[in-house]
Structure 1
């Protein structure tokens, strides 16, 4: 079973790198269901949802990541960007302030310009 998870994760990573975000979602979602404590895979799944413009599922995955790892600065940054894309700048600001505090980089206080 571990071999299948590793294979699916590798496939999900490959799809993500090739910018086939929906393919990455198909490969990674079953892993997250099977091993919900795997924050790394869940974060990659959230990123795939974000890049596929599936913002609600991205937000859900990021909330799970942050519940398990509240000091994961990249998850806070992704959450800020996800909320900004949903026109929820006030909520995003909280996550930007957390990223700036965790990293010491005040550039994170500025909204992302795609």
Structure 2
């Protein structure tokens, strides 16, 4: 129930309210991958990038094949202007998912890195 409610709130861009639902649920089940994914999403929406990064690293460590977690980690690192660190997870997500947005993120970060080198 907490997962569905949090997902609904996050899809409507209410991260504070989603966190209010997620925190008690995670207190009862701290290793719940789905709930932790929702919490990472909430942190990303709130621009709490350090918290989002920590959550996403936990998720990637437990399931490196999760394209959403890899892409989200790359995006959080990109938002922190850590482009070199972002490129690895973004590339993995693009290869795993073959999603247009994931490939676009790789292209965008590579271009930003190239501009830095000029």
TM-score by length of 2: 0.78
Following TM superposition, the consecutive aligned residue runs of length 4 or more in structure 1 with deviations greater than 4 angstroms are none
1:59-70 map, 5 Å: 59-70=53-64
Secondary structure of 2:108 counterpart: coil
Structure with bigger helix share is 2
CA root-mean-square deviation: 1.9
d(CA) in 1 for partners of 2:83, 2:20: 30
Listed one character per residue, the Cα deviations across residues 11-56 of structure 1 (whole Å, up to 9, x for unaligned) are 3233213211111112112222321221111111101110111111
d(CA) in 1 for partners of 2:51, 2:70: 15
TM-score by length of 1: 0.80
The CA deviation at 1:64 is 1.1
1:41-80 map, 5 Å: 41-80=35-74
